[in-house]
Amino acid sequence: MPRSRRHFLVESAAAAALLHPGLSLLAADSPKKKPVSPFLEGNFAPVREEFTEENLKVTGTLPKGLEGMFVRNGPNPQFDPVGNHHWFDGDGMVHGVRLRDGKASYRNRFVRTAGYTEEKKAGKPLYGGILDTPDMKKLFAGENPFKNPANTALVYHHDKLLALWEVGEPYELKLPSLETVGPATFGGKLKQPFTAHPKVDPVTGEMLYFGYVPNQPLVLFGTLNKKGEWQKPLPVKLEKPAMIHDFVVTKNYALFPAWPETFDLKRLAKGESPWFFDKQQPTRWVVVPRAGDGKPKTFEAKTAFAFHLLNAWESGDEITVVGCRYPRFPGALTFGEKDDDKTPNAAVPYQWTLNLKTDKLTETPLHDFAAEFPRHNDTLVGQAVRYGYVGVGEGDFFDGLRKLDLKTGKFSDHTYGKGRFGGEGVFVPNPDGKGEDAGWLLTFVYDNAADKSELVVMDAADMTAKPVARVHLPTRVPYGFHGAWVSGV
């Protein structure tokens, strides 16, 4: 997709700002020696081979109503990096398990982005990572020093599966082959960053998305209708530039959290990080009517940051938002920004309540334990939910999933076992079930001792029960980011 010089500036700057919620950035080693990165070791290490395997071994029994394909995106560098490699730098690789008639098959494929293809042709890495100082000559010449790896999330809308990144165009993938079709620019109309976390409204069939502009106090809020047709985005003004990784929607509104993680190119000119978490500034929630026929409202909240929000819904004059909130932006950023605050900074389940009539906001933690990657039953996007599912635990990654009951405050856990670590739990509704939690949670789990991976299927209504089924995979699946379920594939 053609990019103006301004788009290159804002998008490549934003790419340098991404940070995983549960991990600190690797300190840069001397450029004279090859750096050692923990993101190239253990189950962070890449898998270079692409597999296609049928009739996989299954422990337990795959439920009859579980018919479709589980897909998950994540970083997987095709070449050993030459710079200070961080997890976020890897090329996108999508892993998919297709479940049909009680049987399972597996395949994994690189997302053939422009950057991937360019490096593949050259036979070596051509782009630096987010821990490396970007080539400023390229940056100010309008060339992007970072590639779009399309490695963060997946969304299925209007019969299309899209691989997503924070600040670049999506890439369309075929199902079930996972082969790359190419960039999805919606007829060449998409000329803005596209969020890694769009929302598909189960009632209207619309996909709602946004793109933030790092050096401008602006969010562009857009919609694709149920036919996949692009609608002109609505500009939403902010008081200051802000990094916004995720947002929420309700029946009538879209809500953008303008965290005080700000961007200023003047800092870069002084040799400082252009990104700066301003502890003196509040969080500002901007509430925008989805129909575009009303004036946005802004609510002030405590200084904070969140990568991922669970859901939001309306009740009378109030909007409730639930997510995983950090007291401040976690860890150190590239270009030298550091978190010198020694107080704890874990993300905890949290609730904000915004009253549209009184213009008042109240907020409170729901629990005091660390949690991330919140998910819920996606048939209730923008509607009230009782249950949420989050990753918890210590070790290489999450050692289990926790089910939150937002009504009673209780929670229950499914733990993977000693030396076993998994990722985000994706909820799949049971077509024959009744109730919000009637369904299954799916995630990839890595066994450290065996050096093997499985797709684990859990009963979402009974988290403490043993797995319903475990699909044994032909290759190790490196730790990754976000997944999705596509029924009937």
Residue 50 contacts residue 112 (beta carbons within 8 Å): no
Q: How far is CA 283 from CA 218, 332, 354, in A?
A: 15, 20, 13
Using only the alpha carbons of the chain, give its radius of gyration.
21
Alpha helix (H) residue ranges in 49-129: 114-122
Residue 443 contacts residue 456 (beta carbons within 8 Å): yes
**pLDDT value for 324:** 98
pLDDT for 439-461, tens place per residue? 999 999 999 999 999 999 999 99
DSSP 396-457: SSBSEEEEEETTT--EEEEE--TTEEE-PPEEEE-TT--STT-EEEEEEEEETTTTEEEEEE
pLDDT for 207-252, tens place per residue? 999 998 778 899 999 999 999 999 989 999 999 999 999 999 999 9
11 φ, ψ (degrees, to nearest 5)? -75, -40
How would you list the strands of the sheet with 218-224, edge to edge? 199-200, 207-213, 218-224, 230-237
DSSP 44: G
d(CA 364, CA 378) in angstroms, rounded, equals: 24
**pLDDT value for 19:** 35
Three-class SS state of 223: strand
pTM above 0.85, yes or no: yes
Range scoring the smallest mean pLDDT among 58-67, 291-300, 382-391: 291-300
Which element (helix H / strand E) includes 355? Answer: strand 348-355
**pLDDT value for 67:** 97
Return the structure tokens found at 423.
Answer: 């990722």
pLDDT for 242-290, tens place per residue? 999 999 999 999 999 999 998 777 877 777 777 788 999 999 999 999 9
Q: How far is CA 402 from CA 74, 111, 132, 137, 223, in A?
A: 22, 31, 36, 47, 32
For residue 8, is it left (φ>0), alpha (ψ between -120 and 50) or beta? alpha
- CA 400 vs. chain centroid, Å, equals 18
* Side chain identity at residue 421, one-letter code: F
**pLDDT value for 88:** 86
pLDDT for 167-180, tens place per residue? 889 999 999 999 99
Does residue 365 or residue 337 have the better pLDDT? Answer: 365
359 pLDDT higher than 80? yes
* Side chain identity at residue 72, one-letter code: R
How would you list the strands of the sheet with 283-289, edge to edge? 248-249, 253-258, 283-289, 297-301
**pLDDT value for 66:** 97
d(CA 274, CA 249) in angstroms, rounded, equals: 30
**pLDDT value for 7:** 37
Return the structure tokens found at 96.
Answer: 């998919």
Which residues are within 8 A (CB) of 66 and not within 5 positions of it... i.e. 6 or more apart? 99, 428, 440, 457
